Amino acid sequence: MISAAALTRRAAPVLACAALLAVWQIASLALKSDSFPTALEAIRTIPDILGDQESLINILASLRRMAIGFGIAVLVSIPLGLLMGRSRAVAAFFNPLLMVIYPVPKAALMPIIMLWLGVGDITKTLVIFLGVSLPVIYHSFEGAKAVEEKMLWSGAAMGLSPLQRLARIVLPAALPEILTGCRTGLVLALITMITSEMIARQSGAGNILFNALDMGQYDTVYAMIIIVGAMGICLDAAFERIRARLVRWSEPQFDMPLSFS
């Protein structure tokens, strides 16, 4: 039997979504504007988009770039962040570089990257890579810094080499913090993905959205926003499941039904 509290907790996000859609529906009916379709009209357009082969290819191409950009960023950023966290020399070298890059919106670099690499996949993937890297590096760095010295000493006494200590003590010990960074990185990957397609219009989910806007197909615009939003929520929820499994051993954390980064 599910307790009343558990039921409320599970129903809460559904209710929140329903409330949002209701407000949208009412506002749209009240304003009667051509550029503001009702929630129902937008939702009705979703099957049309997902049923269209070309749209689907576009969306899948977006997801592919996002996956590659995110994957490479994680593979590069975690070791770099961990090294920075455990070596003062490495931190002293990379910290100023990262501090310069940090506040720059990665999409603002796109015009330059486009000049070098064109408007294709490489440019967009690179922008996603840049967007994901910083939070992952930062959290890996903080996580590695916080690893208890005595834990490393214990490993050293067992005969672990410095590299083994990094891979087999620092990495698992910092994993909760690293995964927090990856989760932020995942949301940023989605954001930079759409932004990159907005700037370099050629293919992708962002391209569908802005083409529809140009042609005044407002139903499609809103439907795409819902699709992209849903993608974000699903990716985040899936990642959260994986994260919770991987760091079950760490302290229990505050539990929210739907969480936002």
Please give the residue ranges that form the binding site for another protein (CB under 8 A): 148, 150-151, 153-154, 156-160, 169, 172-173, 175, 247-251
Nearest distance from C-beta of residue 261 to another protein, angstroms = 23
The residue (of 111 and 162) whose beta carbon lies closer to another protein is 162
Region label for 38, one of left (φ > 0), alpha (ψ between -120 and 50) or beta (otherwise)? beta
The residue (of 84 and 174) whose beta carbon lies closer to another protein is 174
Nearest distance from C-beta of residue 165 to another protein, angstroms = 11
Task: Note whether 159 and 174 are within 8 A (CB).
Answer: no
Nearest distance from C-beta of residue 138 to another protein, angstroms = 22
Nearest distance from C-beta of residue 242 to another protein, angstroms = 15
Q: 177 phi and psi, to 5 degrees?
A: -70, -40
Nearest distance from C-beta of residue 164 to another protein, angstroms = 8
**Tokens 């907005």 belong to which residue?**
198
* C-alpha–C-alpha distance, residues 12 and 252, integer Å: 22
The residue (of 175 and 200) whose beta carbon lies closer to another protein is 175
Task: Note whether 174 and 144 are within 8 A (CB).
Answer: yes
Task: Note whether 190 and 66 are within 8 A (CB).
Answer: yes
Nearest to 173 by CA among 203, 194, 150, 205: 150
Task: Note whether 33 and 24 are within 8 A (CB).
Answer: no
The residue (of 130 and 174) whose beta carbon lies closer to another protein is 174
* C-alpha–C-alpha distance, residues 181 and 231, integer Å: 19
The residue (of 35 and 164) whose beta carbon lies closer to another protein is 164
